């Protein structure tokens, strides 16, 4: 069991103290005066963990900025020929849409140039604290910290003030088929759906159930009824999804339910045989079903 305390209350300084990064110089504070600089001098952060920006929401923010101005500054670091964005890319994009030429900024005043790892860490933490990242974007960010910067799960957890198990669970999303990862990134399915699909060993089965989630708008609870018999630890014997879920039989069930107006279950006993179970809940209900059959 993980016993790592949640360090969010310690502030960003505690997370980056080993790197001597002066995070107080980039933290927003009502007592700090922000500067205004030309928007053309700001270069976006190549390590920005967010990959998708909703155009409609950007337009809404741009309209708000046009009406009320840009209230919250972005954070930047000085470069030889301008500035690099540390956090606030969504605000920066919206400001450009709004036609602003200058925007308020907080300038990081560290003694040395930020490394690529520090740029990723700062952008990642800023988004995590805003709870603003898609689960797949968060997984990708952890993967980059692991693969590009050779950090262990324990080191990543310490830097972002999360449990190691939380980091591990997000990294597991990388094991999904690419189609499902794209779907999660587009918010077509939820993180809970994705975790249930991960409990299935067979990739073909994962894809079949993913398509069913999309076509039937399956809830997480409904999905559990399919994944539970397929989960590796719970299988007494190797089962194929076709033994539990047959799209053709499911279609027949749906038609029979609509016809009889009650729950109907079609069970396969062998390749060419099975049974149809029609539920009734009162004598009147039974008479109604019999009338349908006559």
Indicate the pTM of the whole model: 0.56
pLDDT for position 216: 83
CA 217 centroid distance within chain:
18
Catalytic residue among 33, 89, 117, 275: 89
Please report which confidence band the pLDDT of residue 126 belongs to, taking 50, 70 and 90 as the band edges. low
pLDDT for position 34: 62
Residue 291 to residue 21: CA distance in whole angstroms = 78
pLDDT tens digits, residue range 208-220?
889 889 888 889 9
Q: Judge whether residue 95 has pLDDT over 60.
A: yes
pLDDT tens digits, residue range 251-278?
787 788 888 888 887 777 666 778 888 8
Q: Long-range pairs for 59-66 at CB < 8 Å and ≥24 separation?
A: 59/97, 61/90, 61/91, 61/94, 62/94, 62/95, 62/97, 62/98, 63/98, 64/94, 65/94, 65/95, 65/98, 65/100, 66/98, 66/99
The candidate with the shortest Cα–Cα distance to 41, out of 97, 98, 107, 127, is 107
Q: Provide DSSP, the chain.
A: ---PPP-GGG-HHHHHGGGT--GGGTS--TTSPPEEEEGGGEEPPTT-S-----HHHHHHHHHHHHHH---SPEEEEEETTEEEEEE-HHHHHHHHHTT-SEEEEEEE--SSPPPHHHHHHHHHHHHHHTT-S-HHHHHHHHHHHHHTT---HHHHHHHHT--HHHHHHHHHGGGS-HHHHHHHHTTSS-HHHHHHHHT---HHHHHHHHHHHHHHT--HHHHHHHHTTTSGGG-SS---HHHH--HHHHHHHHHHHHHHTS-EEEEESSSS-EEEEE---SHHHHHHHHHHH-
The structure tokens listed for 27 are 């933290």
Q: Judge whether residue 18 has pLDDT over 50.
A: no
The HSE-up count of residue 22 (CA atoms within 13 Å, CB side) is 10
Domain with CATH 3.90.1530.30 in the chain: 8-130
pLDDT tens digits, residue range 136-174?
988 988 888 888 778 899 988 887 778 999 999 999 999
Q: What are the phi and psi torsion angles at 161 (to 5°)?
A: 55, 45
Annotated catalytic, 89? yes
Residue 292 to residue 294: CA distance in whole angstroms = 6
The CATH topology of domain 8-130 is: 3.90.1530
């Amino acid at each position: 069991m993980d016993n790592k305390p949640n360090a969010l209350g310690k502030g960003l300084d505690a997370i980056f103290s080993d790197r001597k990064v002066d995070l107080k110089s980039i933290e927003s504070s009502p007592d700090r005066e922000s500067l205004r600089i030309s928007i053309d001098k700001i270069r976006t952060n190549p390590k920005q963990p967010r990959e998708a920006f909703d155009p409609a929401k950007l337009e809404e923010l741009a309209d708000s900025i046009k009406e009320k101005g840009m209230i919250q500054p972005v954070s930047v670091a000085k470069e030889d020929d301008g500035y690099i964005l540390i956090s606030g890319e969504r605000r920066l994009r919206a400001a450009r849409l709004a036609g602003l030429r200058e925007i308020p900024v907080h300038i990081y005043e560290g003694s040395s140039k930020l490394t690529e790892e520090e740029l990723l860490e700062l952008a990642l933490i800023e988004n995590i604290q805003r709870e603003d990242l898609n689960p797949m974007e968060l997984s990708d960010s952890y993967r980059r910290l692991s693969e590009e910067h050779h950090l262990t799960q324990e080191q990543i957890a310490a830097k972002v003030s999360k449990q190691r198990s939380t980091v591990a669970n997000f990294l597991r999303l990388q094991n999904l088929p690419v189609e499902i990862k794209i779907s999660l990134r587009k918010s077509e399915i939820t993180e809970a759906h994705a975790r249930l699909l991960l409990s299935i060993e067979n990739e073909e089965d994962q894809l079949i159930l993913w398509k069913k989630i999309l076509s039937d708008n399956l809830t997480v609870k409904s999905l559990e009824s399919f994944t539970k018999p397929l989960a590796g630890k719970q299988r007494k014997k190797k089962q194929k999804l076709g033994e539990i879920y047959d799209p053709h039989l499911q279609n027949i069930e749906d038609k029979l339910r609509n016809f009889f107006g009650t729950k109907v279950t079609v069970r396969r006993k062998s390749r060419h045989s099975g049974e149809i179970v029609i539920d009734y809940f009162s004598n009147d209900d039974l008479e109604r079903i019999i009338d349908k059959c006559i």
